[in-house]
Structure 1
Amino acid sequence: MTEVNQPDKVARRRHGKTDAIDAEAAARAVLSGRATAAAKTSDGPVEMLRLFKLAKGSAIKFRTQAINQLKSVLVCADAELRESLAGLSNPKLFQQCALLTQSEVSGPADAARHTLRLLARRIQHLTEEINDLNKRITEAIRARTPGLLDVHGVGPDTAAALLISAGDNPERLDSEASFAALCGTSPVEASSGKTQRRRLNRGGDRQANAALYRIVLSRLRWAGPSQDYLRRRLAEGKTKREIICCLKRYVAREIYRHIAPANTAAHPTEPARDTT
């Protein structure tokens, strides 16, 4: 199975867009040899990760919504109830609201108590879902790539995003440069006239790119080698944005060695070019 990129924009403007036209353009790309990339499969542990991450994302979204609703209801609740819950941390607030007694609703005050009780129990249920999904995501990552979570700055969410980007068949990525391009961290020429410069590839998986960015920020805050690198490059006249671009490229190489160890052994990585 071959993966075909988006059709050429000039051809799309000229001929329009329909399913039939897109199918013909994809077929022509394969027959001409322009499309040679292997498609990402979804029949293994990475697909499990994607589904768990999807469920976790929606649970976090609805829990945040429920928390905001609970606090807005609490602001409008009667003074006695509001004062009894004042100064509590979020977990204790949700616990106390969930324990509110259920009674006949005969006015706005009773309706507020009932609503607080329902919202608090919803928040607790969603928190249990999120904790369970966090555990399942961590177990799936350790089963797929045992050493990935041991990399400095890599947590379950960032590891899941990078694995999902690579897919269940990371061997389709020829080298760590291919993985860097997939994550949008590969340098591309952006020279004009006498000015010689490079910029990062604006394509690729945005979620994977964001995961690399979070890893770099974590290392710049907590890792001594990254902090030393930052100070050295700043002294050379580089901006912090340019330094982060370089570090993202280095992190992509390190992550690739865990995601596709067989490819790394077969094709030793070359030194990464300066991305600035």
Structure 2
Amino acid sequence: MDTHKDVHVAAVVTVLGALLGTQDFPATAKGYGELLSWASRLGTVQRAGVEGTGSYGAGLARHLAAEGIEVIEVNRPDRAARRRSGKSDAVDAEAAARAVLGGRATSAPKSRNGPVEDLRVLKVVKDSAVRNRTQAINQLKALLVSAPSQLRESLAGLSNPRLFTACAGLDPQASAVHQALHLLAHRIKQLSAETTTLTRRIASITQAHNPQLLELTGVGPDSAAILLTAAGDNHEP
């Protein structure tokens, strides 16, 4: 299967390598069912090579696995080479099928439906919150450099927590600078709270799923989440 955001293209080949047909289907739950029904009418479906099992093909891979089909992860072709050779999605789908048939693709996709997937999505959101918080802090401090002297001097020398609290308490109606600092301080506070909540949630899931990992020197919740995400939910031999 050559997978895309809105449409998946499927190709069916026999164990002897004969192409039985190609067809495109919508990338929806209904489309997944139609794809499998179509393929099953052409013969007994034993294995499915799916491109992009971690992105556009994730839903299809889960559907096929739930139906008892062995799903094999297939690497996407190089897009530049694909354009030069004028290949189509149907050709890519056929190539995915032949990669499985020829043994070039053998990896099982990550299941993406267990605690490790929970860690992955939470870590994505936490990393975003941390980046945005850092950006907001830098913006607040940059504004202070050019702020009116009286305001700048009243906030000089404060630690970060005290600075953010003081800025959050500024009257946003006093001036545009007051309003900007006020809003940035509240944004920093909100993002800090999000980061704390997500860190605790990540630690809780890691502790429940793989507590021995947290016992290793230098491995905290974030590092553990990264390691477990790389391994996947189905990392056992």
* TM range, smaller chain: 0.5 to 0.7
Q: Deviations over 1:68-114 (max 9, x none)?
A: 111111111111110111111111111111111343x5xxxx11111
1:84 is aligned, of 137, 154, 172, to 154
| Structure 1 residue 147 corresponds to structure 2 residue 212 | yes
Q: Which has the higher strand share?
A: 2
1:45 to 106, 115, 130: 115
SS in 1 for 2:110: coil
Identity %: 58
Please give the TM-score of this superposition, normalised by the length of structure 1: 0.56
Change (3 A) 1:149 1:79: same
Secondary structure of the 1:35 match is coil
| Aligned residue number for residue 223 of structure 2 | 158
The aligned amino acid for 2:217 is H
8 A Cα contact 1:7 1:25, kept in partner: no
Corresponding position of 1:117: 182
Using structure 2 for the length normalisation, give the TM-score. 0.65
Assess, with a 3 A threshold, how the Cα gap between structure 1 residues 86 and 15 changes in structure 2: closer, same or farther.
Answer: same
1:66 aligns with 2:136: yes
Distance 1:32 1:145, change over 3 A: same
The answer as to 2:95 corresponding to 1:95 is no
Equivalent AA in structure 1 for residue 92 of structure 2: D
Unaligned 5+ segments in structure 1 are 175-276
Q: Which residue pairs with 2:5 in the alignment?
A: none
Change (3 A) 1:21 1:83: same
Tell me if structure 1 keeps the 8 A contact 2:73–2:109: yes
TM-superposed CA distance for 1:27, in Å, is: 0.6
Separation in 2, partners of 1:153, 1:42 = 26
Distance 1:83 1:43, change over 3 A: same
CA distance 1:15–1:100, shift in 2 (3 Å):
same
Structure 1 pair 100–48 and aligned structure 2 pair: CA distance change class (3 A): same
- Could you say what secondary structure the match of 2:211 adopts? coil
For the residues of structure 2 that align with 1:72 and 1:10, how far apart are their CA atoms? Answer: 42
Which has more helix, going by share of residues?
A: 1
Preserved contact between residue 60 and residue 126 of structure 1 (Cα < 8 Å): yes
**Paired residues for 1:1-276 under 5 Å:** 1-7=71-77, 12=82, 15-103=85-173, 105=174, 110-171=175-236, 174=237
Deviation at 1:10, TM superposition (A): 11
1:170 is paired with a residue of what secondary structure?
Answer: coil
Q: Is the 8 A contact 1:47 1:168 kept in 2?
A: yes
Residue pair 2:172, 2:180 contacting (<8 A) in 1 also: no
Contact 1:47 1:164 survives alignment (8 Å): yes
Distance 1:102 1:14, change over 3 A: closer
Distance 1:63 1:19 in 2: 41
8 A contact 1:7–1:26 mirrored in 2: no
Matched-pair contact (CA < 8 Å) for 1:75–1:82:
yes
| SS state at 1:153 partner | coil
